[in-house]
Amino acid sequence: MKQDLIKEIQKLKKEKKAIVLVHNYQEPDIYEIADFLGDSLELARKCLSCEDAERIIFCGVDFMAESAVIINPEKKVYLPALEANCPMADMVDVEGLLELQKKHPGSATVCYVNSTAKIKAISDICCTSANAVRIVKSLDEKEIIFVPDRNLGLYVASEVKDKTIIPWDGYCYVHQKFKKEEVIKSRENHPDAEIIVHPECPPEVRELADHICSTSQMITAAKESLAEKFIVFTEIGMLHRLQLECPDKKFLSPAKICLQMKKNSLELVRDSLLKDQHLVTVPEDIAVKAKRALQRMLDCK
Ligand code: 13P
Ligand code: SF4
């Protein structure tokens, strides 16, 4: 049954000249039909180098698909599961951000890609969890408004001491659930393991970690480490990717699930290809402005 569905998807992909981009948190079933697997930054970059494809099927959440439309408006971008939306992206509103910018006239606004196109359109530059520190360091401004993730903003503040970071008060409901006590218990129960943490986790969790990484950076950290066991503080789906990349190492996690990331399924990908659903669009005036912030991030070496 599953193999039939995969065959059907592969055939439809060819017919429709489609490429399937898949975020690391997706289910292993979805990995099987991926043309490219990655974190937010890698997926955004991939949107620029898929010349042969006419359409992109995005197995992730809404802001990732929106970014794909903004970065490469020539492609048709589809989100198989319409309700796959990242709640953090809606935690900052345009009026509130404009007001904050007015209060800090000499500041720059750095916008985590987990945000709406409207917010990107009024930001100076975007960042992902993989490059947030580097992006902030690259700016001339000393005062930085950071939206919408306060935990990533606080992490950047701890790494960039010569700038003042003004974090917005948004958060990821999945990473916010990790507790400092879970890290302490993990260390007690697995003294031979290293702790890997996503920077969306609260500061008291992050401060106890051995590695602070974006999802794909976790793979490099695990490969380069001499340790054989890792406790991973991020969405549970990441364990599949880590296990795939490092089959001889062991990965554990205090299981937390992002329900929105799990909305995708092979059936929905098949339907997306077959019925051309659900096309993601961004109004042109907003897309043009949002592209400046995204392109500036992609150009930042
Ligand atoms: P990455 O860019 O590290 O994959 O993170 C995306 C995300 O949504 C984390 O919750
Ligand atoms: Fe959004 Fe958190 Fe899910 Fe990532 S894990 S998509 S930040 S809700």
Domain ranges in the chain with CATH number 3.40.50.10800: 2-85+261-281, 89-172, 175-252
CATH architecture of 89-172: 3-Layer(aba) Sandwich (3.40)
**Ligand that comes closest to the CA of residue 176:** 2
pLDDT at 57: 98
Which residue lies with its CA nearest to atom 3 of ligand 1?
A: 214
Sequence-distant (6+) residues with CB within 8 A of 249 are 222, 227, 228, 229, 230, 242
CA 217 from chain centre, in angstroms, equals 12
| Ligand 1 atom at minimum distance from 40 CA | 2
CB 143 within 8 A of CB 162: no
Residue where the block lists tokens 């943490």: 197
**Ligand that comes closest to the CA of residue 23:** 1
Which residue lies with its CA nearest to atom 7 of ligand 1?
A: 40
Summarised one tens digit per residue, pLDDT across range 2-15 is 999 999 999 999 99
Residue in 24, 26, 36, 40 to alter for ligand 1 test, most ligand atoms within 8 A of Cβ: 40
Task: Using the mean position of ligand 2's atoms as its centre, give its distance from the Cα of residue 299 in Å.
Answer: 25
- Which residue ranges in the chain fall short of pLDDT 50? none
Q: What is the value of pTM for the model shown?
A: 0.97
For residue 174 and ligand 2, the question of a CB distance below 6 A is answered with: yes
Fold adopted by 175-252: Rossmann fold (3.40.50)
Count CB neighbours of 80 within 10 A. Answer: 25
pLDDT at 54: 97
Q: What's the rounded Cα separation, in Å, for the pair 68 and 255? A: 29
Class of the 2-85+261-281 domain?
Answer: alpha beta
Which residue lies with its CA nearest to atom 7 of ligand 2?
A: 172
pLDDT at 171: 98
pLDDT at 301: 82
For residue 88 and ligand 2, the question of a CB distance below 6 A is answered with: yes
**Ligand that comes closest to the CA of residue 129:** 1
pLDDT at 196: 98
pLDDT at 254: 95
CB 41 within 8 A of CB 131: yes
pLDDT at 31: 98
Query: For a pLDDT cut of 90, what percent of the chain falls above it?
Result: 99
Which residue lies with its CA nearest to atom 1 of ligand 1?
A: 39
Summarised one tens digit per residue, pLDDT across range 53-100 is 999 999 999 999 999 999 999 999 999 999 999 999 999 999 999 999
